[in-house]
Amino acid sequence: MDVCIIEHRDASGAEYLVERLESVMDVSDIPCEKVNIGCEACDNYGRNLACPPHSPFVIDYAGGARSARVICLRVPLEQFHGIVMEERYRTAYRMIKAMLNDELISWREKGFLVAGSGPCRACLECAIEKGEGECRFPDKRVYSLEAMGVSVVLLTERAFGLSLEWSGNENAADFVSAIGAVFI
């Protein structure tokens, strides 16, 4: 496993330290289920062409790839001290998801298949919202690992020995993470 610290400056000039972890594992060791019932409760279910029921199964998507370069970006919430507590998690997640997406797109431009965290955000409004059945920008679409049946919680534990943290109600996470994979 490789670990490094990235200095990230946002559009306002605020600087954040982001931990970047990377681990290579066999595609066959990725924890996944062919049927992903967890996505059915999500608002994006059926409303995003990168989400179920439109997303492929990860093993089918990975094709002939034997390995996956699993990438985790983590940022401590304490760095977002100037933001109201309820917004810290969302702000931190948007930032590291955008960073991860940029990295995944650069891998894709080199010819690799990639998958990220959460719903695809390539378009402001997914084509399916306008009644279209095909993605307008398939070269920008990023399927989420979760949508393809991957247990991101188990993947994070196997690849990095970390437990994902969640914020909600009266619970605040110490770190916010975004997970992605490059199939090699």
Separation of alpha carbons 184 and 181, rounded Å:
9
Q: Give me the pLDDT at residue 115, please.
A: 95
Structure-block tokens of residue 1: 């496993």
Q: Give me the pLDDT at residue 167, please.
A: 66
Domain residues for the domain of 178 are: 2-183
pLDDT, tens digit only, all 184 positions of the chain = 899 999 999 888 889 999 999 999 999 999 998 766 667 777 778 888 888 888 899 999 998 899 999 999 999 989 988 888 778 888 998 899 999 999 999 999 999 999 998 888 788 888 998 898 899 988 888 998 998 999 999 999 999 999 887 766 667 778 999 999 999 9
Residues sharing a CB contact under 8 Å with residue 41, sequence separation 6 or more, in sequence order: none
Q: Name the 3-class secondary structure at 3.
A: strand
Q: Give me the pLDDT at residue 172, please.
A: 72
* pTM of the predicted model as reported, rounded to 2 decimal places: 0.89
Burial call 6-41: b when 16+ CB within 10 Å, e when fewer = eebeeeeeeebebbbbebeeebeebbbeeebeebee
Counted domains in the chain? 1
